[in-house]
Amino acid sequence: MNLLKLIWDETLGMFVDDGALALQAVILIAGITAAVKLAGLSPLLGGVLLLAGCLVVLGLSLLRKTRSR
């Protein structure tokens, strides 16, 4: 049973290393998608906002990691 738990933890860790980063990315993508589909935001502007948002989320994640070490 411990082997199965270890395999599960390692597999999950490959895809989600930082839970906050993953959650923020999902929220960002959902928000931009909703703005483009429901609010009529230009897809080009949505792409620019998505790129900028991803860079901000990544930067904040790096700041959290450097402060914790």
40-to-4, 5, 18, 26, 53 alpha-carbon distances in Å: 47, 45, 32, 20, 19
Task: Please report, for the chain, the start and end positions of each structural domain, with discontinuous segments joined by +.
Answer: 42-69
pLDDT at 15 over 80: no
* 39-57 pLDDT, tens digit each: 999 999 999 999 999 999 9
Q: What is the pTM of this model?
A: 0.74
User: What backbone torsions phi and psi does residue 57 show, to the nearest 5 degrees?
Assistant: -60, -45
